[in-house]
Amino acid sequence: MFGNFRKLQLWKSSMNLTTEIYRLTRNFPEHERYGLSSQMQRASVSIPSNIAEGFGRESTKELLRFLYTARGSLMELSTQLEICNNLGYLSEEEHPSIQRLADEVNRLLNGLIFSKKKLRSSSGT
């Protein structure tokens, strides 16, 4: 185990991102309920969930695997945000705001991955 994931700014920011995605998708067209809305909600939930699960694992290798999965879900979500913007589902204020939050999560996630990879290579595990 790697400590309390709830104290990580990364986990907190990814939880904020998930909350915002749920808030935004509530206003999407009804025909997107089981399409884009649902997909975005699942991708966003996957980010903090995988961070938390990785912190419950026994090795840095396992932690990194879950962090990579979280990053993949974040990239999926970023693409879906662009699709929503192209379809006009996001206002001029919403798109840059949610994108900034996604970018913050990406920056924090990449930083954690980098530090854990560096630690792993220096310890030989």
Q: State how far the Cα of 55 lies from the Cα of 70, in Å rounded to an integer.
A: 12
Q: Which domain holds residue 50?
A: 5-123
Residue-level pLDDT at 3:
80
Q: State how far the Cα of 84 lies from the Cα of 79, in Å rounded to an integer.
A: 9
Residue-level pLDDT at 124:
63
Crossing angle between the packed helical segments 94-123 and 9-25, to the nearest 10 degrees: 150
Structure tokens at 7: 């104290």
Number of domains in the chain: 1
Alpha carbon of 84 to those of 35, 69, 79, 125: distances in Å? Answer: 12, 23, 9, 42
Local confidence pLDDT in tens for the 125 residues of the chain: 678 999 999 999 999 999 999 999 999 999 999 999 999 999 999 999 999 999 999 999 999 999 999 999 999 999 999 999 999 999 999 999 999 999 999 999 999 999 999 877 777 65
CATH of the domain at 44: 1.20.1440.60
